[in-house]
Structure 1
C-alpha cells in the first residue's frame, strides 16, 4: 500500500515541476515577444504626451506604462532598474528624443523590437532669437536638453504637429501589431478629429486678441505661438527653475509695457517664484500656462485635451481675446 501510494505522489511532484518549467517558459516567451500575460502589446511611453497618444490609439489592445511618474519634472529623469527592465520587456516604445537624455540612452540600449521616436514623425524647428517668438536664454536652454541640433521638442503643444505625430504612431502600431491594425486606424482617426477640433478652437479663440505677446517662465510654447500668430517671451529659457538675469528682467519690463502684456505665466510642475517676482516688479498678474509634461492633481484638466482647453482660456483672458 505504501509503495502504491508513493507512485502517484512522485508523479504529482513531477507534474508540478513540469508545470513550473512550462510556466517559466511561458513567462519568458511573453516577455520576449513584448506581450502581457493577457496577450496585449506592452507599450512603454517616455512621458505624458507620449503616454496619451499610446492610450488613445492603442485602446483595448495595449497596456501602457510611463517612465515618468505624475508630478516628476521629465527633463531631469533618471531611470532605475525597474524602468530599465520595462524597456527591455516592451513590445513597443514611444518616446521623444531630446527631452530626456537618460531615457534616450536607455532606449538606445533596449532590446525592444519596436522603438518609435516621435521627433521623426513631424518636422522640428528652432525657436530662438529669430522670428520674434522666443528670445533671450532659450537657445542655451535648448542645447542643454534637446540634443546636438538644439531643435525645440515641444511639438505636442501645437495640435497640428501633435496630430502629425498621432498619424505616425497609428501607422507604427499597425505594423507592430497587425492583428489589430483596423482598430488602431479607427482610434487614430477618432483622435485626429479631436485634435482638429482643438486646432479650430485655438484659431477662433485667439484671432481677436488685443495683444499677441505673452510672457512665460518655461519657453515651451514656441510652436503654439508660431501656429497662432503669437509672440512668446521666455523669462529664462527652457529651464523653469532657472533665475533670469537683471538685464532680462529689465528687457521684459520694457516689452510688457510696450506690448500691453497683462500676465506672467508659470507652470504646475515647477516653482512659481520667478513668475511672481517678475509680476510684482512689473505690476502684472500671474496665471498657469501648462506645458503638459505631466498630469497631476494641480492640473487644470484630467487629460491632454482638457488641459489644452484650459490653456486656451488662460491665453484668451491674458491677451484680451473676445
Structure 2
C-alpha cells in the first residue's frame, strides 16, 4: 500500500500509519492474503454489505464504511477507513451516492473494485408525479403512470442517475449477479460457492419481486407521499406514484409551496399516509400529516439497519415496507 499516494499530507499519513496496525482488531477486516484465507471485502454501506455477506458466506470477511445509524449520504471518510480500503481484496460501493467514498476508492487503487452503478441501468428520476422513460419499461410491473423520486443536491451516478437501485428487487438482483462474478474473479478457487450463493439470493429477490407485484396489484390509490424520495425505482417497478416532500435528502426543508402542493395532491389522490424513515427526523412528515388530516408510517429506504428498523435484514425490512404500503394504499 502506497501511503503517500493514499494520503498526501504528513499529518494524515502519520494518522494512517498509527491506524493501520489496529485495522484487524477494530474493524474485523483482515489484510489481503490473510492467514485464514478469506477475502477481505469492504462495503460502502448496508445494501453492499448485505450482498457481500449473502454471496460470500464464510469465504469472506466483510466490513462496512458506514456504521449503523449513520446517514450514508453525509459520510466522511477517516484516514483509518482509507487504509482499510487499501488493505481490501475487494471493495463494493455505489458511485454517486457517497462522494467521500468515491474519492477514497479512487485514491486506494484496489485491484478489485465493484461499482454497483455499472451493474444495472440507472434512471434519472425527476420531480414526483412526472413520467420518464424507465430502464426496463417493457418488463412486468411497470406502468405508464409510474412515479419517480424528486431531485436533490447529490451527484447521482455518471449521468445523473438516481442511485437507490436496491429498493427495486429486480435491479438489486442484477447487482447481485455482478457482485458474485467479482468475487469469483477475486477468489477463483471458490467460484462454485459464490455462484451457488448468488443463484440462491437471486431466487429470493425474484420471489420478493413477485410478492410486491401481487401485493400492490389492486389498490384504492397509487400515490404515496414520503419525506425521503428514495423510492423512484420501487414506484416505477410496481406502477406507483411517489411524491417526495423534500427530495432525496431527508433533512432538507420543503418550501411552503411544495407543502401546499402536496396537501392538494393528497386530497385529489385519496392519499391516507405520509411516510417517514428511521434514520431521519419525522418532524416534516408529522407536520404535513397534521395539516392534511393524514396518518404517518415508516417506509424504510434501507440505507442502514438499526435496532429501530422494522426487520433485521434487507428481506424483513422490504416486507415491512410492502405491508405498510398495502395499508396506506388500500390494497385489496
Indicate whether the TM-score tops 0.5.
yes
Q: 1:33 to 1:279 in 2, by over 3 A?
A: closer
- Structure of higher CA gyration radius: 1
Residue 317 of structure 1 corresponds to 327
* CA distance in structure 1 between the aligned counterparts of 2:33 and 2:67, rounded to whole angstroms: 22
Are 2:147 and 1:133 equivalent residues in the alignment? yes
Contact 1:218 1:266 in 2 (8 A): yes
Structure 1 residue 121, shift from structure 2 partner: 0.3
Query: In the alignment, what sits opposite 1:93?
Result: 91
Aligned to 1:40: 38
What does residue 296 of structure 1 align with? Answer: 306
Asked whether the equivalents of residues 34 and 112 of structure 1 are also in contact (C-alpha less than 8 Å), the reply is no
Structure 1: gaps spanning 5 or more residues: 1-23
- What are the Cα deviations for residues 102-158 of structure 1, in whole angstroms up to 9, with x where unaligned? 0000001113210000000000001103316136xx22x0x4242563210000000
Partner of residue 141, structure 2: none
Report deviation, 1:316: 0.2
CA distance in 1, matches of 2:300, 2:222: 18
Q: Deviations over 1:263-295 (max 9, x none)?
A: 000000000001000000100000000000000
Instruction: Give the stretch that moved more between structures: 125-134 or 113-122.
Output: 125-134
Partners of 2:227 and 2:285 within 8 A in 1: yes
Q: CA deviation at 1:32?
A: 11
| Counterpart secondary structure, 1:247 | helix
Match runs of 1:222-237 below 5 Å: 222-237=232-247
CA shift digits 1:57-85 (9 cap, x unpaired):
00110000000000000000001121111
For 1:307 and 1:226, the matched residues in 2 are separated by: 19
Distance 1:148 1:115, change over 3 A: closer
Runs of 5+ consecutive residues of structure 2 not aligned to the other structure? 1-20, 132-145
Q: How far apart are residue 39 of structure 1 and its match?
A: 1.2
Deviation per residue, 1:159-207 (Å, 9 max, x gap): 0000000011111111111000000000001101110110000001000
Residue 262 (structure 1) aligned to one of 248, 272, 295: 272
Query: Which position in structure 2 is the counterpart of 1:68?
Result: 66
Q: Deviations over 1:22-81 (max 9, x none)?
A: xx9xx9xxx997233311000000000000000000011000000000000000000112
In the alignment, is the contact (CA less than 8 A) between 2:274 and 2:285 conserved in 1? Answer: yes
Conserved in 2, the CA contact under 8 Å of 1:87 and 1:93? yes
Give runs of ≥4 in structure 1 deviating > 4 Å. none
The whole-number CA distance in structure 2 between the counterparts of 1:133 and 1:196 is: 22
Residue number in structure 1 paired with 2:282: 272
Mapped to 2, the partners of 1:277 and 1:233 lie a distance apart of 16
Q: Distance in 2 between matches of 1:224 and 1:169?
A: 21
Distance 2:99 2:125 in 1: 20
Counterpart residue number, 1:193? 203
Q: Tell me if the contact between 2:274 and 2:288 (Cα under 8 Å) persists in the aligned partners.
A: yes
2:154 counterpart SS class: helix
User: What is the RMSD of the two structures over their aligned residues, measured on CA atoms?
Assistant: 1.7
In structure 2, the residue matched to 1:124 is: 122
Distance 1:60 1:204 in 2: 34
Aligned residues: 290
Alignment CA distance shift 1:53-1:148 (3 Å): closer
Are the counterparts in 1 of residues 117 and 157 from structure 2 also a CA contact under 8 Å? no
The 2-side partners of 1:107 and 1:51 are apart by 16
1:114 equivalent among 112, 118, 125: 112
Structure ranking higher in helix proportion = 1
Residue 144 of structure 1 aligns to a residue in which SS? coil
TM superposition shift of 1:209: 1.0
